[in-house]
Amino acid sequence: MTSPEKLDQTAYVFDARGVSKRFRHAAIFGAMDSLGPSETMRFVNDHDPLPLLAQLAARYGDALEITYLRREPGEIVIDFTRT
């Protein structure tokens, strides 16, 4: 298995597995807000974050591109790119 960091060196990796669930969404929104145009945050998690994706879509709309790189049980990798 290739580590998420090796997939694309231009993406900022956010590994949600190491963040307490209580603070996870706030940390993700903070990271997203710090991205500039065309910058990418690579999100790594152990489950598909469907509620988070809905919140991101509501907050950023068309200013965010969401691309799954891996979508397997226990291994989710998603690129969030500010457009």
How far apart are the C-alpha atoms of 29 and 8, rounded to whole Å? 21
- Set out the domains of the chain in order of their start, with CATH numbers: 4-46+55-82 (3.30.110)
End-to-end CA distance of the chain: 29
1 pLDDT tier (thresholds 50, 70, 90): very low
**Helix (H) / strand (E) containing 72:** strand 64-72
Length of the chain: 83
pTM over 0.95: no
The string of pLDDT tens digits covering residues 10-20 is 899 999 999 99
**At residue 27, does pLDDT exceed 90?**
yes
Tell me what the pLDDT averaged over the chain comes to: 91
44 pLDDT tier (thresholds 50, 70, 90): very high
Residue with tokens 């790594």: 44
